[in-house]
Structure 1
Amino acid sequence: MQLGLSESLSALVARRFIAAKEGGDLVFSQTHLSLITAAGIPYQLRYCPALGKKPSNLKPETTLPRPKFDPFENPSPELLIAHFPPENPSHALVLNKFPVIPNHFILSTKEWRAQTDLLEKADLEAAYECLRTWGQDDNTTTGPAPRRLFAFFNSGEDSGASQPHRHLQFLPVEAMRQPETEGWHPLIDVLTAHAQSHPGSSTFQYLPHLPFAHFALPLPKNPSADTLQSIYISLYCAAVAATEGRDPRQGPTEPALSIDGPSAISYNLAMTLSTMMIAPRRSETAKIPMDPIAAGDIVDPGVLSLNGTILAGTLMVKAEAEWDALRSNPENLSRVLRDVGFSRVDSYGNSVL
């Protein structure tokens, strides 16, 4: 699938982002940033006061087949980057209306597709094409390394998804990096560099100390849509097995899992050019201990909502007191990550977390 753009994707997104920001068509929120280490892994911790002000009606009632307002059905011209492929558009690239990281953009299906359904070949192919073309232009090189994207997908009520119209999200890795978090690398990159194979399996990769079940597979160079879907379904089946406390190598239970239609679980998916990674989710939120005095008038003090950015090794909190509580005791973050996910199981189906 070719995007068919008249200029490089990174240049186009940057230009549209600046125009939308200056025109007031998106709301960019500054964050305070620090680096904490949990389970031996550096995490970016962002304090974003705007999280407490973001409209609370973005997630529709689960009984509704469609949202009352669907921002991807007819995207605002000011936020629309492009429709593609040119000859018969199936997807659109749209700027995130409430970004906290510059050039955060979204890949949505042009026609209605449910966020809770499994991804289709065309979704995965389009996502990979965005990853592939982002750093292609020599003019988008920063220092010795080309610009890169981190892609993630939230699916299911416990995944942190905020819109039911199917969409994947992209964050430029260079925009996530800041001087305050020198030494940070996206979690999926840490896994790629230091992955181990699951016990008894030479297939799925994982990080031993990460406190929630997760599975990763390498991507070949320029994979076909069939290859991308095969890898995705393998990871999905492993994630379902983890939610059932089974060995991920055993395959699906009977009846066999469908490879299309509604997902059987909530999960986060992440992808770079080299790796695809999945983590099943038990809960969207987790709570950290809070001093009642420090909590003040915070709404839901200590309750953190996490989405697929945890697979990038970054997360946000809505209040300074929560930011301070995590920075002073990083073990709280380890517990949060454990509580929103599932335990990893060994080759005999026993929990190893």
Structure 2
Amino acid sequence: MVKLADRVEAVTQAALANGALQSIQTVAEVVNEGEISYLIRVLDNLKRKDEARARLKKAASHASNPFLPYEEALYVCELGEHHRCLLNKYNVVDKHLLIVTSRFEPQSDRLNLNDFRALSQVMAEIPGLAFFNGGEQAGASQPHKHLQLVPLPMSPFAETPFSEQLNHVSGEHPQGCEALGFRHCVMQLPSALFEDAAQAGQQLLAAYESLRDALNLADDAPYNLLLTRHWMMMVPRRAERWQSISFNALAFCGAILVRDEEQAAKLKEEGIMRALVSVA
């Protein structure tokens, strides 16, 4: 049986060769604010910036559904009866995966057991950061339900920029991380959870529901969900953008994409945590 990581590598190389994968090039910078570190990615060079802006705009277009039908060159595998795994066509991070429902389901719907079972299949084989943008105000670019996963670590960090703080949270119950100023709830996940992918789906759903309850999150409320093999965090949202900068779930683990140096400078000048607080 082919390992998922090997399949992802093979599909990635083929999609790069035939032009189906249109990666967005960035320059990364680590920024420190007190005890907190961030990874800011800036679109690389003028020509590429124009191309990347066009790709980002196309990726955010609701004019057509890129998942139905999906692009064959980006197809990785089926994940049970209800989901499939695709490569993200306009990726900033290598091997950025999408876990997409096989039939149309709204991105605004609550995550369910089938969603977490599919995610568990991927996380059991690939150590990564999974995330979900629950609604347009949370940075969702497509209305078709999809979770996402990017491989870890996010260099030069051991895991994610905020993992040093999040990994110090103890206890498998919803709580806050004092170092993070934006509204959120986080909990540790059981060790060795993903050794049994079938059981992991059920436990992830239980953790997800616990975080929703702790935040008193309404069914239609926008939110971001982030999880590694160690923790799960939920962030309620009130706005997609701070000034002209769009924040999706990755911003709340400290990884932020900006279009140019001007946006990066503005963010650093005003304070990155302050910007995150304003949209959560």
TM more than 0.5: yes
Partner of 1:155: 134
Structure-2 change in CA distance of 1:33 and 1:184 (3 Å):
farther
1:231 paired with 2:170, answer no
1:275 and 2:231 aligned: yes
Pair 1:105-2:105 in alignment: no
Q: 1:51 to 1:213 in 2, by over 3 A?
A: farther
Q: C-alpha displacement at 1:59, in angstroms?
A: 4.4
Matched, 1:29 2:24: yes
CA contact (8 A) 2:37 2:162 kept: no
CA distance in 2, matches of 1:308, 1:322: 19
Distance 1:161 1:11, change over 3 A: same
Following TM superposition, where does structure 1 have runs of at least 4 consecutive aligned residues deviating by more than 4 angstroms? Answer: 57-60
Q: Matches of 2:251 and 2:2 in 1, distance apart?
A: 31
The aligned residue for residue 115 of structure 1 is 107
Calculate the aligned-residue CA RMSD, in Å: 2.2
Q: Deviation string for 1:153-196 (max 9, x for gaps)?
A: 0011210000010000110114x31xxxx356414522442226
- For the 8 Å contact 2:120–2:201, the answer to whether it is kept is no
Asked if 1:124 is matched to 2:124, the reply is no
Identify the match of residue 80 of structure 1 among 49, 64, 75: 75
Whole-Å separation in 2 of the counterparts to 1:30 and 1:157: 24
**TM-score calculated relative to the size of structure 1:** 0.70
| Pairs within 5 Å for 1:139-154 | 148-154=127-133
Q: Distance in 1 between matches of 2:100 and 2:19?
A: 22
Matched, 1:133 2:125: yes
Match of 2:250 in 1: 309
CA shift for structure 1 position 214: 1.0
TM-score (norm 2): 0.88
In structure 2, do the counterparts of structure 1 residues 159 and 73 end up closer, same or farther at CA, with 3 Å as the change threshold? same
Closer/same/farther in 2, CA of residues 219 and 193 from structure 1, 3 Å limit = closer
Aligned to 1:336: 275
User: SS at the partner of 2:136?
Assistant: coil
What are the Cα deviations for residues 109-152 of structure 1, in whole angstroms up to 9, with x where unaligned? 00111100000101011112211112xxxxxxxxxxxxx21100
- Alignment correspondent of 2:169: 195
Please, which runs of 5 or more residues in structure 1 have no aligned partner? 1-5, 61-66, 135-147, 242-256, 258-262, 288-302, 342-353
2:262 pairs with 295, 300, 321, which one?
A: 321
From the superposition, tell whether residues 39 and 207 of structure 1 become closer, same or farther in structure 2 (CA, over 3 Å).
farther
Deviation, structure 1 residue 238? 2.2
1:22-61 alignment, distance < 5 Å: 22-38=17-33, 40-48=35-43, 49=49, 51-56=52-57, 58-59=59-60
Cα 1:103–1:132 shift into 2, 3 Å: same
Change (3 A) 1:40 1:188: closer
Q: Distance in 2 between matches of 1:191 and 1:167?
A: 27
Amino acid across the alignment from 2:259: K
Q: CA deviation at 1:35?
A: 0.4
* Larger CA deviation: 231-240 vs 153-162: 231-240
| Shift in Å, 1:224 | 4.1
Instruction: Please name the residue that 1:166 is paired with.
Output: 145
Cα distance in 1 for residues equivalent to 2:56 and 2:185: 33
1:237 to partner: Cα distance: 2.1
User: Residues 257-272 of structure 1 correspond to what in structure 2 (within 5 A)?
Assistant: 263-272=219-228
CA distance in 1: counterparts of 2:56 and 2:28, whole angstroms: 23
- Aligned: 1:204 with 2:174: yes
Amino acid at match of 1:119: L
The separation in 2 between residues aligned to 1:284 and 1:272, in whole angstroms, is: 23
Q: Which has the larger radius of gyration?
A: 1
SS of 1:113's equivalent? coil
CA distance in 1, matches of 2:2, 2:252: 30
Cα 1:57–1:153 shift into 2, 3 Å: same
User: Percent identical across equivalent pairs?
Assistant: 28
Q: Structure 1 residues 111, 208: closer, same or farther in 2, change over 3 A?
A: same
Which letter maps to 1:167?
Answer: H
- Residues 1:183 and 1:92: Cα distance change in structure 2 (over 3 Å): closer
Structure 1 residue aligned with 2:46? none
